[in-house]
Structure 1
């Protein structure tokens, strides 16, 4: 039996569209093993209502098995902990892909290299930002070149915490992409390139007073933000409560607020403000996860 723990992730982080991803200490956990027969898919020990055709863990495993011509008889998959909310921009699909590929690789006696796992995970997900962070942990800048994932990982500063503002409404990644323009001006591209580069420098140098500038973006947030009622007011309130910067997590609907770890007033005051808005919001104070996916053999 394998126990697999996979972190949530926040992607884009403002200007890093489809290339920046950071793992967070919010987790999905799975039990997976190969069996002699049948395919059993459980959630917290109970039969899952999700059809097998839509089970991303199972489909990721089959993708790996097919690639390496491995014939399995049966599988036992149990989602024992599901703390990463679905369709909220926190990498829930990436946790399933990472768990499925890590489990399949172990069952196949670790035939896949780290690079091959990253490549296949990105092929399944469609972009590398969330899956690289989920697998490797930390803050990762990633891209695909000649069908190979290339990434660089840094450990985010310990001085920061990340407040995830999670609403009661979902936003799918596919719908989030439909609202984006097909072309951008040179000025908008330069705007994002400069801020993406500055963000990495600021994290390295702990020059946090510049973070709000770093999270500015003209590629996706202006368009996706229109679907999140009250976004500007929420971000303005966060600023008034001492935040260092704010951005849409992934394609939304979660909003991420970056705080100094010593900011003890934010949580209660922001929660009070959010209770005056139309949606219902939960706030989770999170820290970066630097370990990525962890596999334990039981």
Structure 2
């Protein structure tokens, strides 16, 4: 296989993983994108980074996007080349918004773009390569597919399904000034959890998947301790109540409190205010899946949190330059 294009570009969304109970399996693509362009050249690799990570991330062959690109070229048997890369990064690094998954998926998609073959590096290949590197598919899947995703692995083989998220989702991110390595956040998790907590999370994750695939009007019928599904305001009240229940977690968030006390405390405060808030991925960003009252936004901002309304990104990684521009992986 040979390189058919020498100048290509892609854009890839931020992602939020776990979404509360869906540990290492559920994810959501968000409307905050990194864009990367590449010239294939003869000569040494050079990387220019603007925005997030500028002056901190490597600007040579050790750059994560470059390494992913080269991994994918090897995967399809394409020749290597010198790389001149330009990255415009908007996804915060080390904040639980999928920056590493975005870098990997961008690199894989750039390799596909350089090869220029629509049969090379399809979505499943991008998912598998990213999972092999990350160790879990929860961020990789929405970065590839967009929307909401449920992903899994079986004997090392990754799979994912895409859900069309309903219109009532209005994600809001609360981003702190400090970052946290994923390895640090995972190190505090126990090797086993009580059976009751596992059952608790399975039921909430199943409910969340049902809500995320329920269309604009939500479930046709629902029963809860407070309200049954009806029309108009009753249905809206039910959807909110169900989303609050569906985002509860007992597997990971409380265990992570010592490593990000302020983030878990913010989750508690937002939920007490009626917002379906969760830790985004490994944190420390907090995500509410519904719109947040202005007074709450103002108070969080005054406390030092950067607040961003981030609509769901319905598309995953997308090629914008090269012969396959506009063609889905």
Same fold at TM > 0.5: yes
**1:61 aligns to what?**
69
Aligned length: 288
Rate the CA distance shift 1:60–1:232 in 2: closer, same or farther, 3 A: closer
Separation of aligned partners in 1, 2:16 and 2:138: 9
Separation of aligned partners in 2, 1:113 and 1:19: 21
Instruction: Note the alpha carbon deviations across 1:235-267, whole angstroms, 9 max, x for none.
Output: 344245442x1100001000011224xx6xx24
Rate the CA distance shift 1:115–1:236 in 2: closer, same or farther, 3 A: closer
The structure with the greater share of residues assigned to strand is 1
Instruction: Note the alpha carbon deviations across 1:70-99, whole angstroms, 9 max, x for none.
Output: 2223111110x2111000000001111111
Q: Assess if the C-alpha contact under 8 Å between 1:60 and 1:124 holds in 2.
A: no
Uncovered stretches (5+) of structure 1, i.e. residues with no partner: none
Aligned pairs for 1:66-85 (under 5 A) are 66-79=74-87, 81-85=88-92
Residue among 229, 244, 248 paired with 1:216: 248
**1:139 aligns to what?**
148
**2:277 aligns to what?**
246
Residue among 88, 93, 97 paired with 2:104: 97
Separation of aligned partners in 1, 2:267 and 2:142: 25
Residue among 117, 137, 140 paired with 2:126: 117
Separation of aligned partners in 2, 1:289 and 1:136: 10
Rate the CA distance shift 1:4–1:184 in 2: closer, same or farther, 3 A: same
Uncovered stretches (5+) of structure 2, i.e. residues with no partner: 1-6, 220-238, 323-329
Which region of structure 1 is more displaced relative to structure 2, 119-128 or 10-19? Answer: 119-128
Instruction: Note the alpha carbon deviations across 1:243-293, whole angstroms, 9 max, x for none.
Output: 2x1100001000011224xx6xx24533324524xxx31000111111111
Look up the SS of the partner of 1:213 in the other structure.
helix
Rate the CA distance shift 1:98–1:22 in 2: closer, same or farther, 3 A: same
Deviation for aligned residue 1:230: 3.6
Separation of aligned partners in 1, 2:70 and 2:268: 46
**2:19 aligns to what?**
13
> Does residue 1:155 correspond to 2:164, yes or no?
yes
Name the TM-score, length of structure 2 as normaliser: 0.81
> Does residue 1:168 correspond to 2:192, yes or no?
no
Q: Assess if the C-alpha contact under 8 Å between 2:113 and 2:319 holds in 1.
A: no
Deviation for aligned residue 1:209: 1.6
Deviation for aligned residue 1:101: 0.2
Separation of aligned partners in 2, 1:178 and 1:196: 23
Instruction: Note the alpha carbon deviations across 1:188-215, whole angstroms, 9 max, x for none.
Output: 1111101100111233135332111111
Look up the SS of the partner of 1:161 in the other structure.
coil
Separation of aligned partners in 1, 2:268 and 2:81: 55
Rate the CA distance shift 1:283–1:185 in 2: closer, same or farther, 3 A: same
**2:299 aligns to what?**
272
Rate the CA distance shift 1:54–1:87 in 2: closer, same or farther, 3 A: farther
Q: Assess if the C-alpha contact under 8 Å between 1:41 and 1:48 holds in 2.
A: no
Which region of structure 1 is more displaced relative to structure 2, 105-114 or 225-234? Answer: 225-234
Name the TM-score, length of structure 1 as normaliser: 0.89
Rate the CA distance shift 1:294–1:227 in 2: closer, same or farther, 3 A: same
Separation of aligned partners in 1, 2:62 and 2:36: 17
Instruction: Note the alpha carbon deviations across 1:120-169, whole angstroms, 9 max, x for none.
Output: 11111211010110111010000112432211111111122111000001
